[in-house]
Amino acid sequence: MRNIHALSGRPSLTGWLALSVQPRILHVFDEVCNLINERRDILSIVHAEIGNGPFNLVIEEPVLFTKHLDVESKVSFRNKQLLLGGDIAISLANAQMWDPVPRWDELRTNQDGIVNRLALLQLDNDNESILQFSNSLSLAIVNVDISTAKSISAKLAGLGIGLTPAGDDFLMGAMYAAWMIHPQDAAKNVTEEIANAAVPLTTSLSGAWLRSAAKGEAGELWHEFFDALIEDKNIYLPMSKILSVGETSGSDALAGFLETIDCWRQR
């Protein structure tokens, strides 16, 4: 049995474990193992290089998950240890809780200067399937037009290939923009409705990201990007890290964010 220590996890980690009577493995990749419970909630076990996320459990040392696990491997929790198959035991005893909510209040407070900085960025979005809906979605979010936002979100949901289709990535970025441009109640209202419309129409993993975005939660790379905006630091390094995520996941999400911010600026 290989014993591994967890470095950090989401605040709701203990709740996920408590509510998981029969958790199972959803996906196994070299550096990531995704678990899912009866409520369709995801727990992603990741290496430290990937970092924190709204539903990540970060472990201290690399594990080649595909060598030890498959989707049939058993999952259990005992004595503050998460047991995967018969080979891996992850100790949660010293895991630090990581807050997945960015500094939205500070982003709103510095909104004008940040929006002007973002206006200087150019990001080409040549995905025609997204382009036919992107302007309408951005405008609906800016105007808090719930009905239109839900209708467009249902068309974007699941659009594309992969575990997080391009349409969902664009939606997620646009939802982050909603949290920055609107007061908390309005942002929560519009993003929850977007998630409600989109989640049933896409993959379990992509749905988890959309549900997290509806709570105002984001991954560590987005935190670094937002922190750079707040602190008036160089944004190109954190932006390049987002762009490097997946084949197009990062660029599609950033396109959703920037297009919605630009729509807000021009309104």
Q: Give the residue numbers spanning the domain of 115.
A: 104-266
The residue out of 97, 127, 143 marking a domain boundary is 97
Which amino acid, residue 149? Answer: A
Q: Does 89 share its domain with 187?
A: no
Q: Does 170 share its domain with 192?
A: yes
The pLDDT score that the predictor gives to residue 80 is 87
Q: Does 110 share its domain with 81?
A: no
How far is the C-alpha of 96 from the C-alpha of 70, rounded, in Å?
Answer: 28
Q: Does 66 share its domain with 89?
A: yes
Query: What is the biggest distance separating any 2 CA atoms in the chain, rounded to whole angstroms?
Result: 59
DSSP 65-119: HHHH--TTS-EEEETTEEEETTTEEEE-TTPEE------HHHHHHTHHHHHHHHT
The pLDDT score that the predictor gives to residue 153 is 98
Residue with token string 């500094």: 103
Residue 174 CB-density burial (10 A; 0-12 exposed, 13-18 middle, 19+ buried): buried
The pLDDT score that the predictor gives to residue 182 is 97
Q: Does 238 share its domain with 110?
A: yes
The pLDDT score that the predictor gives to residue 214 is 98
The pLDDT score that the predictor gives to residue 156 is 97
The pLDDT score that the predictor gives to residue 127 is 77
> Any residues with CB less than 8 A from the CB of 266 and at least 6 apart, and which?
none
How far is the C-alpha of 116 from the C-alpha of 199, rounded, in Å?
Answer: 32
How far is the C-alpha of 243 from the C-alpha of 192, rounded, in Å?
Answer: 25
How far is the C-alpha of 119 from the C-alpha of 73, rounded, in Å?
Answer: 48
Q: Does 89 share its domain with 125?
A: no
The residue out of 97, 124, 147 marking a domain boundary is 97
Write the DSSP symbol of residue 199.
G
The pLDDT score that the predictor gives to residue 189 is 98
CA separation, residue 8 to residues 119, 128, 252 (Å): 35, 39, 27
Residue 25 near residue 16, CB atoms below 8 Å: no
Query: Structurally, how many domains does the chain consist of?
Result: 2
Length of the chain: 267
Q: Which helix (H) or strand (E) holds 225?
A: helix 220-230
Residue 15 near residue 103, CB atoms below 8 Å: no
Count of helix runs (H) and strand runs (E) in the chain: 12, 9
The residue out of 41, 69, 97 marking a domain boundary is 97
The pLDDT averaged over each successive group of 10 residues in the chain (267 residues) is 92 85 95 94 94 96 93 92 93 94 97 92 78 94 98 96 93 98 97 98 96 98 98 95 93 95 92
Residue 68 near residue 87, CB atoms below 8 Å: yes
